[in-house]
């Protein structure tokens, strides 16, 4: 199986598949298919309970599509819902992923939800992140570009609360207030995530909350 990212930042991922290879994707992620590819719609791997959690708590679709190649030389095009980069990340350990960034994964990956807890705070607008189980490749979509930053042992990185895309689940982190009351009200920085290495942090360049805020002056006003 080979992957080709086409037309980033407003792009899609072309996946070349041979007979017997398959990919599981979010409902609505398919952009095109070439060749004899079978599509099966069903619950997520892991059973009904994990499916309900990922849909109700993680903001993901209730059903997923499994695309399987019935012949060599098939091509599958997938895209995400965010206006930004699509990336392929290989994982060999449990990761947590921003809800909404997950597009698809190889059939060796299971998606579940991870409770962040009130002591951790929240990422973006959710108190749940998605959790990967298994080894393989995941296809992620971000708001803006995706940057991968490698942290050394004990090295710390502070991210705005809306910027995290993915990281290894065993990397220590805390969610905390940034600055004082003036910073919260006037500086646009209420919560930040402080992550400690070692490990790779995948983060996005744009903030969907700030983008929504810029649109407010242009929205129709009720009379």
Model confidence over 51-79: pLDDT tens digits? 444 444 444 456 789 999 999 999 999 99
Query: Mean pLDDT, to the nearest integer, of 172-194?
Result: 64
Complete DSSP assignment for 178-205:
-S-HHHHHHSS--EEEEEESSEEEEEES
Residues 24-58: b if buried by 16+ CB within 10 A, e if exposed: bbbeebbeebebebeeeeeebbeeeebbebbbebb
CA proximity to 124, closest of 169, 79, 166: 166
pLDDT tens digits for range 72-82:
999 999 998 88
Residue 198 or 98, more confident: 198
Report the alpha-carbon distance of residue 179 to residue 144 in Å, rounded: 26
Structural domains of the chain in order of their starting residue, each with its CATH number:
2-214 (3.60.160.10)
Report the alpha-carbon distance of residue 208 to residue 80 in Å, rounded: 14
Residue 16 or 49, more confident: 16
Residue 205 has pLDDT above 70, yes or no: yes
Average pLDDT, the chain: 81
Query: Mean pLDDT, to the nearest integer, of 75-90?
Result: 91
Per-residue confidence (pLDDT) for residue 186, from 0 to 100: 42
Banded model confidence at residue 175, pLDDT cuts 50, 70, 90: confident
Banded model confidence at residue 184, pLDDT cuts 50, 70, 90: very low
pTM listed for this prediction? 0.78
Which three-class secondary structure state does DSSP give residue 36?
Answer: coil
Element (H, E) at 128: strand 128-133
Residue whose pair of structure tokens reads 């004082």 in the numeric block: 180
Report the alpha-carbon distance of residue 69 to residue 18 in Å, rounded: 6
Residue 14 or 64, more confident: 14
Percent of residues, the chain, with pLDDT higher than 90: 44
Residue 146 or 48, more confident: 146
Report the alpha-carbon distance of residue 185 to residue 42 in Å, rounded: 45
Could you tell me how far CA 175 lies from the centroid of its own chain?
A: 19
């Amino acid at each position: 199986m080979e992957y080709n990212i086409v037309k980033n930042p407003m792009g899609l991922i072309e996946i070349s598949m041979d007979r017997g290879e398959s990919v599981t994707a979010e409902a609505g992620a398919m952009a095109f298919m070439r060749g004899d590819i079978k599509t099966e719609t069903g619950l997520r791997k892991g059973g009904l309970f994990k499916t309900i959690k990922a849909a109700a708590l993680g903001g993901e679709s209730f059903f997923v599509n499994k695309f399987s190649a019935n012949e060599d030389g098939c091509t599958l095009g997938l895209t995400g819902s965010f206006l930004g980069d699509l990336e392929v990340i290989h994982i060999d350990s449990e990761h947590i992923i921003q809800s909404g960034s997950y597009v698809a994964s190889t059939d060796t990956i299971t998606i579940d939800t991870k409770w962040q807890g009130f002591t951790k705070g929240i990422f973006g607008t959710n108190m749940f992140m998605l959790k990967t189980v298994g080894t393989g490749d995941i296809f992620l979509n971000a708001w803006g570009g995706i940057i991968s930053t490698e942290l050394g042992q004990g090295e710390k990185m502070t991210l705005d609360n809306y910027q995290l895309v993915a990281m290894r689940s065993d990397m220590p982190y805390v969610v905390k207030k940034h600055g004082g009351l003036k910073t919260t009200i006037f500086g646009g920085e209420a919560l930040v995530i402080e992550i400690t290495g070692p490990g790779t942090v995948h983060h996005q360049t744009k903030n969907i909350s700030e983008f929504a805020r810029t649109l407010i002056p242009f929205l129709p006003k009720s009379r």
